[in-house]
Amino acid sequence: MSKEIDWANIGFSYQPTSKRFVAVYKDGKWNDGELTDDPNIVINECAGVLQYAQTCFEGLKAKTSKDGKIVTFRPDLNAKRMIDTCERLCIPPIPEELFLKAVDEVVKANADFVPPYGTGASLYLRPFIYGSGPVIGVKPSPEYTFRLFGTPVGSYFSGGLKPIKLMVSDFDRAAPCGTGHIKAGLNYAMSMYAGQMAHSLGYDENMYLDSKTRTFVEETGGANFLFVTKDGTIVTPKSDTILPSITRRSLITVARDVLDMKIEERPVSFEEIKEFAECGLCGTAAVISPVGMVHSEKEDIYFPNGMENPGPITQKLYDTLTGIQMQEIEAPEGWIRECK
C-alpha cells in the first residue's frame, strides 16, 4: 500500500523514507552492506569527504509500471558510471552487484513510498560514496562509505512540462579535474553560484558554454541538452566536458529506433540555437523538460513552442520515454529491472 502522499504536488525535495543501505570499504574490501533505519551520519572531523571533498553520487528512479510492478530504469548504467567516477577520484569502485543489490533492497524496503502508477511521480534513488576515514595529507581516505537512500519526487522544475527559461552567464561549468566524462569532473558546489544567480534574475537554470571559447553549448547544472531542428532532426552537443547522461543516451536510442528520427551528436555553437525548433533539458530528474527561452547578454532567444506548452517532438520524446519506463511501451532489452 502506498503512503498517503499528495503525489501530484511533491516537487523535487528530500523526504526521509523508512530504510537506506550502507556498505563500508575497510582493509581493502567492501563489506556486504545492510539496510539501516538511521538517516543521520556520524563522521570523523578529518574524514576525506570533509577535508578534500572525496565523494561522488548517482541518481536514478524507481516507478510503478502499468501492471503494478516496481521497476528501475537502466540501473546498471548508473553502476558503471559510478565505477568510472570512483576510479577518477581514487575511491575504490563499488562493485556493480553490490550497487544493484542496494537499489533492489532500498526500493523493496520503501515500497510504500513508490508513487502509484499514473501519478507521474517516482521514488528518486540517490547512491553516494564518501571518504569516511580520517586523512590530513592530500591523499585518498583510508576508508569509504557507500549509502543509498530513496525520496519520493515529482517534477524537477515546478511547472512540470511548462517550458522553462535559461540564462547564459560567464561562469565555468567547473570541471577542475579537467574531465566531465564522469561526475567527478563536475563540481556541483562550484555550479551553485551561477544557478542561484539565474534564479535571482527570474530564470530557472544557468546554461553553460564551453570554458575555453565560450561559443559552444555544454549543459546545465543537472541536465544535458537535446535540440530539434526545423526539419525534425535531433541535435545534441558532443563534448568531453559534459556528463554522459543516461537519459540523453536513452532518448537518442528512442528517437532513432522507435521514432525513426535522424540524430546528430556534434559540437553545437550557441550562435546556431536560434535556428532550432525545440530545445529540451534531459536527465533523470529533468526527464525531458522543454526550454522556452534563453537569455544571454546579447539577446533573448525564444523557441517557437512559446512559454506555455512543450513542442511536439519534446512531448513525443517525453511520452515515449516515460511510457517505456512504466512498461506501457516495450522497452529495449535490458532497460527495465524489476525490483523483486
Nearest distance from residue 161's CB to ligand PLP, in Å?
A: 17
CA dist., res. 144 & res. 28, Å (int): 10
Task: In whole angstroms, give the CA distance from residue 308 to residue 329.
Answer: 27
Of the candidate spans 83-91, 99-107, 218-226, 326-334, the one that interacts with ligand PLP by CB under 6 A turns out to be 218-226
* Residue 129 sits in the site that holds ligand PLP (CB under 6 A): no
Q: Is 281 in the site for ligand PLP (CB under 6 A)?
A: no
186 counts as binding ligand PLP under rule CB under 6 A: yes
Q: Which of 232, 257, 239, 256 is nearest to 311 (CA)?
A: 232
The contact mask relative to ligand PLP for 241-270 (x = CB under 6 A, - = no) is --x-xxxx----------------------
Residue partners of 183: CB distance under 8 A and separation at least 6? 56, 57, 58, 81, 82, 85, 243
Q: Which of 222, 237, 280, 290 binds ligand COI (CB under 6 A)?
A: 222
Task: Determine the 3-state secondary structure of 219 from DSSP.
Answer: strand
Q: Indicate if the alpha-carbon torsion angle 122, 334, 262, 243 is positive or negative.
A: positive
Three cell numbers, residue 228: 530539434
Of 115, 185, 222, 310, the residue at the interface with ligand PLP (CB under 6 A) is 222
Question: In the structure grid, which three cell numbers stand for residue 261, read together?
Answer: 528520427
**Whether 183 is catalytic:** yes
59 binds ligand COI, rule: CB under 6 A = yes
284 is a contact residue toward ligand COI (CB under 6 A) = yes
Binder of residue 246, out of ligand COI, ligand PLP, none (CB less than 5 to 8 A by kind) = ligand PLP
Asked if residues 89 and 187 have their Cβ atoms less than 8 Å apart, the reply is no
Closest separation in Å from C-beta 150 to ligand PLP:
15
Among ligand COI, ligand PLP, none, what binds residue 16 when CB lies within 5 to 8 Å by partner kind? Answer: none
Q: Which of 19, 183, 298, 316 is catalytic?
A: 183
Residue 59 as a binder of ligand PLP (CB under 6 A): the answer is yes
Least gap, CB of 285 to ligand COI (angstroms): 3
Q: In whole angstroms, what is the distance from residue 340 CA to residue 328 CA? A: 19
Cβ atoms within 10 Å of 118's Cβ, excluding its own: 10
284 binds ligand PLP (CB under 6 A): yes
Residue ranges in contact with ligand COI by CB under 6 A: 59, 222, 283-285
Catalytic positions: 183
Residue ranges in contact with ligand PLP by CB under 6 A: 59, 186, 219, 222-224, 243, 245-248, 283-284
